[in-house]
Amino acid sequence: MKGLCILGATGSIGVSTLDVVARHPDQYRVVALTANHNIDGLFEQCLTHHPEYVVVAAEEKAEAFKDKLADSPVSDINVLTGAEALQQVATLDQVDSVMAAIVGAAGLLPTLAAAKAGKTILLANKEALVMSGDIFMRAVKESGAHLLPIDSEHNAIFQCMPGGYETGHKAKQARRILLTASGGPFRETPVEELHDVTPEQAVAHPKWDMGRKISVDSATMMNKGLELIEACLLFNMSPDDIQVVIHKQSIIHSMVDYVDGSVLAQMGNPDMRTPIAYAMAWPDRFDSGVEPLNIFDVKQMDFEEPNLERFPCLRLAYEAIKAGGIMPTVLNAANEIAVDAFLNERVRFTDIAVIIERTMAHFTPDSADSLDIVLHADRQARIEAQRVIEGLLS
Ligand code: NAD
Ligand code: MG
């Protein structure tokens, strides 16, 4: 029986994880659940899964949550609050696996703490890895933690790697990764119409049901940019050996091209419970609840090269990983600020790339070999991105 901590339990990935957990009560026990604001969702999860610990990260919501719990059948749950408590529950002795499913930089410190404590990390929170890069990968190596990708593409690549493969290593026989992308909702929208896109249009993804931030990232293709950087780190590959492929049906979730000419693909219905179940059962497999793929319904699969003029965010991600040092941290921070401003209707959809590019231009790729340097670069990039936004608004 493995003990599980879910960081970001109330989000899209968190909910899918609990759906998988409920199918395997003999294999997983929920030790800790965390959420930010959504205390109603968290309370319902507590009634079903009865964890030992809960963290309400937003301190102003903690009292209301405790009141709900007090008169409930699960009043014995330990309630903690604040960002530090996330690290505490991610490193508890009774936790074996940590699902890192907080969105954005807020997930870095608890996920890194879990890595340092040698836990098995089920990594959905790609921003945490992108911003801390080698520091994160080193922490995993030094503690002997297992790092298993949840992002569907990286999970697919991991499944296509040679037997016994562990992330962080280079598989010498693999010469190229083909990283698939759906292309998002604006794959065919005329470029001149993109600046009128509203947040509602941007978050309505054609193939995947996800949180708002990653949905906007999918629409700009910054999601693929972050995933490119994620793939370089997880699979120890150069960005030149990773080809982004637009595959609008989202049936193939990525491919590995081997030196002998074999190309291995992982396929399935687009449902995050497949990669979640794979990582949870690894190195075995178990039921995820996902409908079997009906290959006759697929009929056709298309593959296109992405257009970097339509998707400048993808170009910026290539530039950031090639420049190295703190640039991926800066890219990620500027993107988080820009997406937030777009979702709050302060800037236009097409301003997102402008804000990131202007923010990046303000920085040089200094080496990122300590956590302090990374956290400082993250803070400075957020300040600079806000300054760029004020400039656009004036
Ligand atoms: P979401 O917005 O649905 O959920 C985010 C979760 O993080 C919530 O539980 C929320 O309470 C928590 N959270 C947010 N801010 C927080 C903070 N400051 N402190 C503590 N907790 C906080 O997001 P999601 O779609 O589930 O995505 C989660 C992560 O997984 C993201 O990094 C995303 O890129 C990645 N991911 C998601 C999908 C998907 O299909 N949804 C696929 C691949 C990767
Ligand atoms: Mg993905």
Cα 103 to ligand 1 centroid, rounded to whole Å: 3
Residues 156-186 pLDDT 10s: 999 999 999 999 999 999 999 999 999 999 9
**What CATH code is carried by the domain that includes residue 354?**
1.10.1740.10
Same domain, 310 and 340: no
Average pLDDT over residues 90-104: 98
- Ligand 1 pocket: which of 6, 10, 13, 290 to mutate (most atoms <8 Å of CB)? 13
Same domain, 219 and 253: yes
Considering the domain boundaries, does residue 141 fall inside one?
A: yes
Residue 333 has a CB neighbour count (10 Å cut-off) of: 27
Considering the domain boundaries, does residue 278 fall inside one?
A: no
| 151/155 Cα distance (integer angstroms) | 6
Considering the domain boundaries, does residue 51 fall inside one?
A: yes
Same domain, 175 and 112: no
Residue 95 has pLDDT above 90, yes or no: yes
The confidence score (pLDDT) of residue 238 equals 98
Nearest ligand to the CA of 215 is 1
Mean pLDDT of the chain: 97
Share of the chain above pLDDT 70, in %: 100
Domain of residue 380: give its range: 324-394
Which SS3 state, helix, strand or coil, does residue 257 take? strand
Same domain, 393 and 353: yes
The token duo for 291 is: 């409908």
Q: H-type helices in 117-221, by residue range?
A: 126-143, 152-160, 199-203, 212-220
The confidence score (pLDDT) of residue 333 equals 98
Average pLDDT over residues 349-365: 98
Cα 295 to ligand 1 centroid, rounded to whole Å: 31
**What CATH code is carried by the domain that includes residue 8?**
3.40.50.720
Same domain, 191 and 246: yes
From the CA of 37, give the closest atom in ligand 1: 11
Considering the domain boundaries, does residue 84 fall inside one?
A: yes
Residues 26-64 pLDDT 10s: 999 999 999 999 999 999 999 999 999 999 999 999 999
The confidence score (pLDDT) of residue 60 equals 97
Same domain, 212 and 308: yes
Ligand 1: residues whose CB is within 6 Å? 8-14, 35-36, 38, 57, 101-103, 106, 124-127, 151, 208, 210-211, 214, 272
Q: H-type helices in the chain, by residue range?
A: 12-22, 39-49, 59-70, 83-90, 108-116, 126-143, 152-160, 199-203, 212-220, 222-235, 273-281, 295-298, 312-323, 327-343, 351-361, 371-393
Same domain, 181 and 117: no
Query: pLDDT tier at 206 (50, 70, 90 boundaries)?
Result: confident
Cα 91 to ligand 1 centroid, rounded to whole Å: 20
Cβ atoms 290, 280 nearer than 8 A: no
Cα 13 to ligand 1 centroid, rounded to whole Å: 7
Same domain, 97 and 60: yes
- Which residue from 248, 254, 211, 259 is spatially nearest to 230, judged by alpha carbons? 254
Cα 106 to ligand 2 centroid, rounded to whole Å: 19
Same domain, 208 and 142: no
Same domain, 50 and 141: yes
Residue 240 has pLDDT above 90, yes or no: yes
| 316/331 Cα distance (integer angstroms) | 8
Nearest ligand to the CA of 253 is 2
Same domain, 263 and 139: no
Backbone angles phi, psi at 287, to 5 degrees: -60, 140
From the CA of 151, give the closest atom in ligand 1: 43
Considering the domain boundaries, does residue 163 fall inside one?
A: no
Nearest ligand to the CA of 12 is 1
Residues 296-332 pLDDT 10s: 999 999 999 999 999 999 999 999 999 999 999 999 9
Cα 104 to ligand 1 centroid, rounded to whole Å: 7
Backbone angles phi, psi at 122, to 5 degrees: -100, 105
The confidence score (pLDDT) of residue 167 equals 98
Q: Which of 259, 281, 314 is the last residue of a domain?
A: 314
User: What's the structural domain count of the chain?
Assistant: 3
Residue 208 has pLDDT above 90, yes or no: no
Considering the domain boundaries, does residue 277 fall inside one?
A: no
Nearest CA to ligand 1 atom 4: 11
The confidence score (pLDDT) of residue 33 equals 99
- Which residue from 200, 203, 204, 222 is spatially nearest to 212, judged by alpha carbons? 203
Residue 205 has pLDDT above 90, yes or no: no
Cα 196 to ligand 1 centroid, rounded to whole Å: 26
Considering the domain boundaries, does residue 120 fall inside one?
A: yes
From the CA of 272, give the closest atom in ligand 1: 40
Which SS3 state, helix, strand or coil, does residue 264 take? strand
Q: Which of 118, 149, 180 is the last residue of a domain?
A: 149
DSSP state of 293: P
Q: Which of 149, 176, 201 is the last residue of a domain?
A: 149
The confidence score (pLDDT) of residue 207 equals 80
Residue 370 has a CB neighbour count (10 Å cut-off) of: 10
- Which residue from 33, 31, 13, 34 is spatially nearest to 279, judged by alpha carbons? 13
Cβ atoms 140, 117 nearer than 8 A: no
- Which residue from 127, 237, 260 is spatially nearest to 178, judged by alpha carbons? 237
Considering the domain boundaries, does residue 274 fall inside one?
A: no
Residue 202 has pLDDT above 90, yes or no: yes
Same domain, 393 and 309: no
